[in-house]
Structure formats: structure tokens, C-alpha cells
């Protein structure tokens, strides 16, 4: 492990030096005053684990089974749109890491690699994340493409009924194609590795959406992508039709309230991802880990409950499992890794998580991540 890159925060710091400000702000920023991003971290930090010793623990297990697939670790990669803008080839770097280390990689509908490309790289590890655009036929065509590519798990993101107010992007005049101005030229020239990679690989495009974009820029227009990303018509009836169309496991992402969780469950989904989109949608939303107990209370045990938003290390994964989550995901942790280390970044992040999880399981006297429960949270249950 590189000596100075021991934590996700170290990677964030290193990535910031290599990614242009415009793209780093897009990656790091959130909705409004970004209180939700801080709340995500504060909520995890406020949970304590219960140290337990005098227990024989020669090995600790991290494998987790979801939807009949045994993954090597308890953390997967959340979908991130425009990944290749943040770092050249980020989508494929992450898909390769997911395949090699056998964890799930969720490709975004507004990703910069196509469903077909990514499914080819990581056939058993790619999940596909769908937005439900106003023009319904696009949604069902994307579902068909995912099916034909052999994708097994479909994730429908529901927390973008309308684009949120991301102040950093607005202040930076963030758009695609780029608005060329002196500050942008200075910004990209000061990040030579990013610039060389981007010149070599070409301007990132919304590869999944090119056939449906009426823009003149052949899939490069951010505003066209935002129209396709917002899901203003998504209701229960439409979710049920998606359910009918998709034979495999169906997961709904972006749930924070028990009421919405119950609606999703009543449509026959197999799982949900409790998520506030990494603080990118609603400034005054609860953190995901705060929402978790309320949601678990109402859902049937057979509905798989996953979580993301704010997870930045092994402790957070352990806390989420101990609170009842069946799996965890992170977005930015992985992208900070790729920004800092390029092709080695995805696996390096997985190394950090695996190492921290193993050490923490030893500290709390737990032989297997799958047996974590409330007993491992402080204060001790009598």
C-alpha cells in the first residue's frame, strides 16, 4: 500500500491535486449548502462500536451473498455519471477492478461508457442503473439493451424527479461541451495527466444515451443528458411496468423514507438502496444511516436493504452491517482512488476497505461480516 495513501481521505487529497477544479467540484459537491454531505459523515462518526476481547478469532470472513452471487467483499461501486470526465477511462478502470476483485459495479445510465462495453469487461459484476426519462420508450429500450448485454441486476434511481441546485457547478459554469474561457484553460493546463488522458481518449460522451439525444453534439451535451436523467413521471404504475419487464433482481435506489420503501416493495422490487445520492439531491435530507432503522422496521426481511452515501472506510461498512444493512456501496471513495492513482485506484480503494474491515472485525470480536448486528454497536445491549 503506498505509504501516504492509507485512507480514503488521503486519496481525496491526492486526487484533488490531479483533477481540474471544475471536475473535482462536480465530483465532491452536493445540493444547496451541502449540509447533507456533512450530515452523512457526522452520522457515521456518531455511531460507536463495542470492543470485545478474549475470543478466539483466527480468521474473519468478508464474503457476502446477494441475489445468488457470492461477492468477495461487502462494498460495491455506486453509479456515477460522467465518470470519464472526472478521470479518463474511469468507467473501465472501475469495471475491471470490480471484475478482478469480484464486487458489484453499477454502471450509470448517464455513464460515459456503454452498457455493452462495460458488460463485456465485467459480465458477472456489472449492474445497470436506469433513470426513467419522460420519453418512456427510452427507458424500455435501455432495459432491453441491459437484458441483451447479459446484465443481471437492474437498479432504478428514483431520487431525481428534477435536477437539484448544485451551487458549485452553477458557480463554475459547468456545462458540456465546455464553455471555453481563460479560467478553464488555466484549470486544465495545470492538471497535465488529466489533460493528456482526456486528449487521448476524447471528450467524454453519454454513451448510453447517444441514440436518444437530439443535440447537435452527438452525446456530449450536459443539458440534453439532464433532460434524460430527470424522472418526473415515475410513479407506482410505471415502476410496476418496469418490474414486469425485468426478469432478474430489481433494486430501487434513492430511498430515505419508510413510505417510499413500502411503495417500492409493493411493486415487487427485490431490494432497495437507501441513499441520498451522496448529498447531491436534497440539502435537508436525513443521512442514509439515520434512515436505515426506520426503513428496516417496515420492510419484509426478504427485501434486500443496501446503503450508500458517506461511506469512507471499513468502520462505516461495519456500522452499516451492524445496523442491519445487507450490503454497502460508495461512489466518491472509488473515484478519489481513480483520481489519485489512475488504473490502480479502484483496487487500491478495495484494499483499504478490506484491510480496515478485517482489523475492525478483530477488535469487536466478530468472525464474519454477515453476523454483525446491534450487539456490536455501543452502548452494549443488556
Ligand X SMILES: Cc1cc2nc3c(=O)[nH]c(=O)nc-3n(C[C@H](O)[C@H](O)[C@H](O)COP(=O)(O)O)c2cc1C
Residue 186 CB, nearest approach to ligand X (Å)? 23
For ligand X, the nearest residue by Cβ is 331
20 touches ligand X (CB under 6 A): no
Cα 330 to chain center, whole Å?
A: 5
**What is the 3 state secondary structure string of 174-231?**
CCCCCCCCHHHHHHHHCCHHHHHHHHHHCCCCCCCCHHHCCCCCCCCCHHHHHHHHCC
∠ CA 188-194-197, rounded to 5°: 125
Among 94, 332, 347, 376, binds ligand X (CB under 6 A): 332
Residue 143 CB, nearest approach to ligand X (Å)? 16
Q: What is the DSSP string of 7-32?
A: SHHHHHHHHHHHS-HHHHHHHH--ST
Residue 340 CB, nearest approach to ligand X (Å)? 15
Binding to ligand X (CB under 6 A) within 45-74 occurs at none
Cell (9 digits) for 370: 454477515
Residue 55 CB, nearest approach to ligand X (Å)? 32
129 touches ligand X (CB under 6 A): yes
126 touches ligand X (CB under 6 A): no
Binding mask 259-278 for ligand X (x = CB under 6 A): ----------------x-xx
287 touches ligand X (CB under 6 A): no
Q: Counting beta carbons within 10 angstroms of the beta carbon of residue 85, is it exposed (0 to 12), middle (13 to 18) or buried (19 or more)? A: buried
Binding to ligand X (CB under 6 A) within 167-186 occurs at none
Q: What is the DSSP string of 50-118?
A: ----S---S--B--EEETTEEESSSEEEPP-TTHHHHSTTHHHHHHHHHHHHT--EEE-TT-SS-HHHH
80 touches ligand X (CB under 6 A): yes
79 touches ligand X (CB under 6 A): yes
154 touches ligand X (CB under 6 A): no
Which residue is it, cell 472509488? Answer: 334
Could you tell me how many residues of this chain bind ligand X (CB under 6 A)?
Answer: 24
Q: Which of the residues are catalytic?
A: 277
Residue 133 CB, nearest approach to ligand X (Å)? 13
CA distance 52 to 57: 11
Among 96, 205, 253, 326, binds ligand X (CB under 6 A): 253
Q: Which residues bind ligand X (CB under 6 A)?
A: 26-27, 40, 78-81, 108, 110, 129, 157, 253, 275, 277-278, 280, 308-311, 330-333
Amino acid at each position: 500500500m503506498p505509504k501516504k495513501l492509507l485512507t480514503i481521505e488521503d486519496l481525496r487529497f491526492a486526487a484533488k491535486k490531479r483533477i481540474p477544479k471544475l471536475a473535482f467540484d462536480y465530483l465532491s459537491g452536493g445540493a444547496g449548502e451541502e449540509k447533507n454531505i456533512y450530515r452523512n459523515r457526522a452520522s457515521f462518526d456518531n455511531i460507536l462500536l463495542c470492543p470485545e476481547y478474549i475470543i478466539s478469532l483466527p480468521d474473519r470472513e468478508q464474503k457476502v451473498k446477494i441475489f445468488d452471487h457470492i461477492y468477495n467483499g461487502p462494498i460495491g461501486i455506486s453509479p456515477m455519471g460522467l465518470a470519464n470526465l472526472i478521470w479518463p477511462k474511469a468507467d473501465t478502470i472501475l469495471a475491471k477492478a470490480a471484475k478482478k476483485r469480484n464486487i458489484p459495479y453499477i454502471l450509470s445510465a448517464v455513464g460515459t461508457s456503454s452498457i455493452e462495453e462495460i458488460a463485456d469487461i465485467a459480465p458477472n459484476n456489472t449492474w445497470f442503473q436506469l433513470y426513467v426519462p419522460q420519453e418512456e420508450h427510452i427507458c424500455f429500450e435501455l432495459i432491453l439493451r441491459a437484458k441483451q448485454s447479459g446484465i443481471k441486476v437492474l437498479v432504478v434511481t428514483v431520487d431525481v424527479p428534477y435536477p437539484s441546485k448544485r451551487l458549485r457547478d452553477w458557480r463554475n459554469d459547468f456545462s458540456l461541451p465546455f464553455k471555453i474561457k481563460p479560467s478553464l484553460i488555466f484549470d486544465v493546463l495545470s492538471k497535465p495527466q488529466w489533460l493528456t488522458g482526456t486528449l487521448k481518449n476524447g471528450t467524454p460522451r453519454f454513451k448510453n444515451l447517444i441514440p436518444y439525444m437530439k443535440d447537435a453534439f452527438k452525446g456530449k451535451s450536459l443539458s440534453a443528458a439532464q433532460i434524460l436523467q430527470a424522472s418526473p413521471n415515475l410513479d407506482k404504475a410505471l415502476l410496476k411496468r418496469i418490474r414486469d419487464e425485468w426478469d432478474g433482481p430489481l433494486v430501487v435506489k434513492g430511498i430515505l423514507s419508510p413510505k417510499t420503501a413500502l411503495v417500492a416493495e409493493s411493486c415487487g422490487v427485490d431490494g432497495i438502496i437507501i441513499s441520498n445520492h451522496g448529498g447531491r439531491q436534497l440539502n435537508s435530507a436525513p443521512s442514509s444511516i439515520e434512515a436505515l432503522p426506520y426503513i428496516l422496521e417496515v420492510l419484509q426481511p426478504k427485501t434486500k436493504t443496501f446503503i450508500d452515501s458517506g461511506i469512507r472506510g471499513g468502520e462505516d461498512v461495519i456500522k452499516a452491517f451492524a445496523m442491519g444493512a445487507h450490503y454497502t456501496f460508495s461512489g466518491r471513495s472509488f473515484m478519489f482512488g481513480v483520481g489519485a492513482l489512475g488504473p490502480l485506484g479502484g483496487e487500491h480503494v478495495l484494499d483499504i476497505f478490506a484491510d480496515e474491515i478485517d482489523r475492525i472485525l478483530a477488535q469487536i470480536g466478530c468472525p464474519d461480516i454477515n453476523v454483525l448486528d446491534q450487539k456490536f454497536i455501543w452502548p452494549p445491549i443488556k
